[in-house]
Structures are given as C-alpha cells and as structure tokens.
Amino acid sequence: MQLIQGKVIADQIKEEIASEVKELVDMGKKRPHLAAILVGHDGGSETYVAHKVKACEQVGFESSLIRFEDNISEDELLKKVQELNNDDSIDGFIVQLPIPDHISENKVIEAIDPSKDVDGFHPVNLGRMVIGLPSYVSATPSGIIELIRRYNIETSGKHCVIVGRSNIVGKPMSILLGQKTNPGNCTVTLCHSRTKDLPSVTRQADILIAALGAPEFVKEDMVKEGAVVIDVGTTRVPSTETKSGFRLKGDVKFDEVSPKCSYITPVPGGVGPMTIVSLLRNTLLAAKRDVY
C-alpha cells in the first residue's frame, strides 16, 4: 500500500506557484489577488477560509477577506458580488459555502463573473469543462486529478466508482475521469443515497472515490483488493485529544481498508490540501488571463 501524500504534493505545488508569482512580480506585474466572502461564523467555514488566506500569503498572493453576519440579505450579498466582479484589483473570488438558507446559493453562484469564478462553480465553467474547453475546474476534483497525475496512477480503462453526486465534487469528478484525456478514460459509476446494494458496486472499483460526508462509511468489505481509494470526506467529530475540541474524519475506515489498497489518501493530509492549492492555481490562471 502506498500512501498518497496530498500535503507533500500540495507543498511542492505551492513552491511552483510561488516561483511563478515571483516571475510575474519581477516582470513588473501585480501580485495575483484572491478575495473570499464569508457569511456567518460556521466553525468549518472559518477554518477553511483561514487556510485559504494563509495559503495566499505562502505563495505571495494578495488576499482579502470580506465578512458578513448571517442576517445579511440576499440583495446585499449579490451587490457585493457585483462589486467584486467590477473590481479590477481582484483577479478571482469565492463565496465560502454553505451560506444561510434565506439566500439562494444558485443565485449567488450565477451572479459571479465566470472569469473570476476561481471555485469553478458557475454553470458556464461547469459547461465549458464538460465539453473540454478551458475553464476553472472545481478545486477538489481538480486536486484529485493532480494527485492521480503526480503519482502516475493508471486510469485508462479502469472502473472508477464515485460515491456522492454533489455539484462541487462527485459530479465534476465523474465527468473529468470519464473524459478522453490522461488522467481520464475511466468507465465511471456515480453512486448516491438511492444506489441499490452499494457494497456490490464499490467492490467493482479499481478506483474508489468516497465523497459522501459519512465518517468511516467505507469498510474493508466494500473495497476490492488492490484498489486505489481516494477519501474526500471531512467530517468534524468531537475529540478530547485536540485543542480545538474536534478532529476531521474521512469517509473511509482507514485502518481496515488501507491494507487492501494499492494507493490510499489519508484524512487529514490527503485531498484537503490539494483543494486549497487548486484554488491558488485557478487564481494564478485568472491573474494571467490564461482561461478567459
């Protein structure tokens, strides 16, 4: 079994991005600038945004954090999105999800200028990705593809089973691995909560991607010998062993499953750090106008 060390690869990619930023600055260009809108005080969102801001500093980007209380109206939030769309000093921005229920997530996503949508959630970016045009690809699937590429994991002709069909992870992942590209050329099965006899499907996977958000859901008897297992899940569970009072659990029961795998990602230190560097990569592309 080989551990896929997302944290190590993410650190390498950060160094690559930092040297590209240095080149831009040496040429007299401005530093890439990522803005994040955070609504409310959800613990998970606070942590994710703090990591993103820190990662910006590490690679030499500028970053702006724009905070709102969770009683902000939909109109006010949409106004801020328009402001960022029109602000030439900002190359890309994200609205950290989830947002409060009284605000339509789709309306907010659709209000973002696709050329600044570095999360890759806008329908224009998703559509362009589906037909193979340059686009910002959603950060988590893009990070997983990069891990597969850097570990030279063969995907062509393999059966990839994905559990979870969210718009930000499962669905785009299924498209990317089914495309006529390398990595890609997989035969893909996309599973969800209505899938019948899920273990019989996951056992057929050469590559199993668990993205459902149920801690330690994937057990040893759900995995084929020699499979590649990518664990996207990050559920915060209470813990007396950490300062914060919680720790992150993946969707895979690591101790049971890992001896059967050819490759497996840990949680934490697997997919999570790659999600952040993919966001940085998209912001760099935005600053260089490489997509639009």
Report the interface residues with ligand NAP, using CB under 6 A: 140, 163-166, 168-170, 191-195, 198, 211-214, 232-235, 271-272, 275
| Residue of 5, 14, 52, 171 marked catalytic | 52
- Look at residues 150, 170, 187 and name the one whose alpha carbon lies nearest to residue 6: 150
Q: Which is nearer to ligand NAP, 194 or 243 (CB)?
A: 194
The token pair that represents 203 in the structure block: 């056992």
Q: Which is nearer to ligand NAP, 89 or 200 (CB)?
A: 200
Interacting residues of 39 by C-beta distance below 8 A, sequence separation 6+: 67, 68, 69, 70, 72, 77, 95, 96, 99, 100, 103
Crossing angle, helix 271-287 and helix 6-26, to 10 degrees? 20
Least distance in angstroms from the C-beta of 230 to ligand NAP? 10
Alpha-carbon gap, residue 208 to 223, rounded angstroms:
8
Q: Which is nearer to ligand NAP, 267 or 287 (CB)?
A: 267
Least distance in angstroms from the C-beta of 28 to ligand NAP? 35
Query: Is 96 a catalytic site residue?
Result: yes
Q: Which is nearer to ligand NAP, 181 or 193 (CB)?
A: 193
- Look at residues 228, 214, 141, 145 and name the one whose alpha carbon lies nearest to residue 181: 145
Least distance in angstroms from the C-beta of 292 to ligand NAP? 24
Q: Which is nearer to ligand NAP, 158 or 249 (CB)?
A: 249
- DSSP-derived letter for residue 30 is P
| Residue of 5, 80, 91, 96 marked catalytic | 96
Q: Which is nearer to ligand NAP, 235 or 283 (CB)?
A: 235
Query: Is 52 a catalytic site residue?
Result: yes
Alpha-carbon gap, residue 276 to 262, rounded angstroms:
25
The token pair that represents 20 in the structure block: 């590209």
Least distance in angstroms from the C-beta of 157 to ligand NAP? 25
Query: Is 119 a catalytic site residue?
Result: yes
| Residue of 5, 14, 117, 119 marked catalytic | 119
Q: How far is CA 101 from the centre of its chain?
A: 22
**3-state DSSP call for residue 143?**
helix
**Strand pairing of 2-3 and 246-249?**
unpaired
What would the DSSP string read from start to end of 93-135? EEEPSP--TTS-HHHHHHHS-GGGBTT--SHHHHHHHHTT-S-
Least distance in angstroms from the C-beta of 140 to ligand NAP? 4
Least distance in angstroms from the C-beta of 232 to ligand NAP? 4
* Catalytic residue IDs: 52, 96, 119
